[in-house]
């Protein structure tokens, strides 16, 4: 039996979500665009109910929710859509962070090759954007700023209110990849002057293949060009037959997060803190990455100096954990997030990530602490 502790990669689908989805695979299978008959209208109602549920989680108007197949699509729609709409304008600068997800970094790189000026605001050793540096980069030519709400590797939560104020003052648009943060940290669409926000169902205990892009209605009037053309679903911004089971699952997952998220976050944070304290007591050299206070409740990025994290995880076969390194282009390279916050290659290679969540129990972490210490000591002995 494997103990799953990788909730930043994906979360298990909540059984209540699965239960809500199942009828839409069988008896309630109609196309929501077929509103000429009752089954189609019922399917359309299910889509709109899910839209209301997603909107409620973020205190947003339902009309601002555009359903997609996940955060990668949402990020691409936001970045390419805004850039294409402004292709002949004077604003050609795009600002992002070096610690963003690849679903933001790769479109930005491609847009740079297409003639946009892409610049990267620095982050500090905790992964927070350096606000003064960001402000210096905000020129009259700035079109768009894309900054995540929280980082998937080190959990650092960005000061979106301070970022948004600076971006708004510069007359630029702000996109936020909130995939890791939605339901875990407070995000109020009404209060934050964010123009576009991406989220994904499978990070909220919903189904894979579901997601949404929240966008201000003003952008629908020529401010964003869709990636695809087709039947006109989602206001023409995301054509194609709706994936009703996935959309329903996303809606229920969002509703559960709205109802239970704050209590769940407090429980998870307490377990995380106990785990980190116990690990550092047993292994005094252990270091925790990310901001000490502004961090996702279920995130623990641990560096054990002098230890090869991949070897450590091989000695922990009963756990699903994540390495701090990613295999890129066939060669093992250190995590770009960890190097961006100043870790050496050696320390990046000595880092692993624990992702706690809804179904994590304290005993899982107590056992993990013991097993990490045992594996660490065994590898140390073998290295002598």
State the pLDDT confidence band at 76, using cuts at 50, 70 and 90: very high
The proportion of the chain whose per-residue pLDDT surpasses 90, expressed as a percent, equals 92
Question: What is the mean predicted confidence (pLDDT) over 272-283?
Answer: 98
- How much is the pLDDT for 116? 97
Q: Residue 153: which H helix or E strand, with range?
A: none
Query: Is 13 an active-site residue?
Result: no
- How much is the pLDDT for 220? 86
- How much is the pLDDT for 173? 98
Enumerate residues 6+ apart whose C-beta is below 8 A from 379: 307, 308, 311, 312, 315
Q: Residue 78: which H helix or E strand, with range?
A: helix 71-85
- How much is the pLDDT for 330? 45
Which has the minimum average pLDDT: 30-39, 68-77, 317-326? 317-326
Q: Does residue 123 surpass a pLDDT of 50?
A: yes
Asked whether the CA dihedral 345, 291, 4, 285 is positive or negative, the reply is positive
Which has the minimum average pLDDT: 3-17, 40-54, 225-239? 225-239
Q: What are phi and psi of 278, to 5 degrees?
A: -65, -40
Q: How far is CA 59 from CA 62, 70, 78, 347, in A?
A: 9, 20, 20, 40
- How much is the pLDDT for 358? 98
Q: Does residue 245 surpass a pLDDT of 50?
A: yes
Q: Does residue 327 surpass a pLDDT of 50?
A: no
Q: Rounded to the nearest 10 degrees, what angle do helices 71-85 and 102-113 cross at?
A: 30
State the pLDDT confidence band at 382, using cuts at 50, 70 and 90: confident
Question: What is the mean predicted confidence (pLDDT) over 128-153?
Answer: 98
State the pLDDT confidence band at 329, using cuts at 50, 70 and 90: very low
Q: Does residue 36 surpass a pLDDT of 90?
A: yes
Residue 137 tokens read as 């980069």
State the pLDDT confidence band at 328, using cuts at 50, 70 and 90: very low
**Could you give all domains of the chain from N- to C-terminal order, each with its CATH number?**
3-8+261-383 (3.90.1150.10), 15-256 (3.40.640.10)
Of the residues 13, 108, 176, 327, only one is catalytic, namely: 327
- How much is the pLDDT for 324? 62
Question: What is the mean predicted confidence (pLDDT) over 197-220?
Answer: 97
The proportion of the chain whose per-residue pLDDT surpasses 70, expressed as a percent, equals 97
d(C-alpha 153, C-alpha 151), whole Å: 6
d(C-alpha 327, C-alpha 336), whole Å: 11
What confidence tens digit (pLDDT) does each residue in 296-321 have? 999 999 999 999 999 999 999 999 99
3-state DSSP helix/strand/coil % of the chain, to nearest 5: 45, 15, 40
How crowded is the C-beta side of 83, counted as CA atoms within 13 Å? 25
């Amino acid at each position: 039996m494997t103990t799953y502790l990788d909730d930043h990669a994906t979360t298990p689908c909540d059984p209540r979500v699965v239960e809500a989805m199942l009828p839409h695979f069988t008896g309630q299978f109609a196309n929501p665009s077929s509103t000429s008959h009752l089954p189609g209208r019922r399917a359309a109602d299910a889509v709109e109910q899910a839209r209301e549920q997603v909107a409620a989680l973020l205190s947003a108007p339902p009309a601002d929710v555009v359903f997609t197949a996940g955060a990668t699509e949402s990020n691409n729609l936001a970045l390419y859509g805004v850039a294409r709409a402004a292709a002949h304008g004077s604003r050609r600068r795009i600002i992002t962070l070096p610690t963003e997800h690849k679903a933001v970094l790769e479109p930005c790189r491609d847009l740079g090759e297409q003639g946009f000026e892409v610049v990267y605001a620095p982050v500090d050793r905790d992964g927070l954007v350096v606000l003064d540096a960001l402000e210096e980069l905000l020129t009259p030519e700035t079109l768009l700023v894309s900054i995540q709400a929280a980082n998937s590797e080190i959990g650092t939560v960005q000061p979106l209110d301070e970022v948004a104020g600076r971006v708004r003052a510069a007359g630029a648009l702000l996109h936020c990849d909130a995939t890791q943060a939605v339901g875990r940290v407070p995000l109020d669409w009404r209060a934050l002057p964010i123009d576009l926000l991406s989220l994904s169902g499978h990070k909220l205990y919903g189904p894979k293949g579901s997601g949404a892009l929240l966008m201000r209605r003003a952008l629908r009037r020529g401010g964003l060009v869709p990636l695809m053309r087709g039947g006109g679903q989602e206001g023409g911004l995301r054509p194609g037959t709706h994936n009703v089971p996935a959309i329903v699952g996303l809606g229920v997952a969002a509703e559960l997060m709205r109802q239970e998220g704050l209590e769940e976050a407090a429980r998870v944070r307490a377990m995380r803190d106990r785990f980190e304290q116990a690990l550092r007591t047993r292994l005094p050299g252990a270091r925790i990455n990310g901001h000490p206070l502004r961090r996702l409740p279920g995130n623990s990025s641990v560096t054990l100096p002098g230890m090869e994290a991949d070897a450590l995880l091989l000695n922990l076969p009963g756990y699903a954990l994540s390495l701090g390194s990613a295999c890129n282009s066939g060669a093992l390279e250190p995590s770009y997030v960890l190097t961006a916050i100043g870790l050496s290659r050696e320390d990046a290679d000595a880092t692993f990530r624990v992702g706690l969540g809804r179904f994590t129990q304290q005993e899982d972490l107590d056992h993990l602490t013991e097993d990490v210490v045992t594996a660490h000591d065994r590898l140390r002995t073998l290295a002598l």
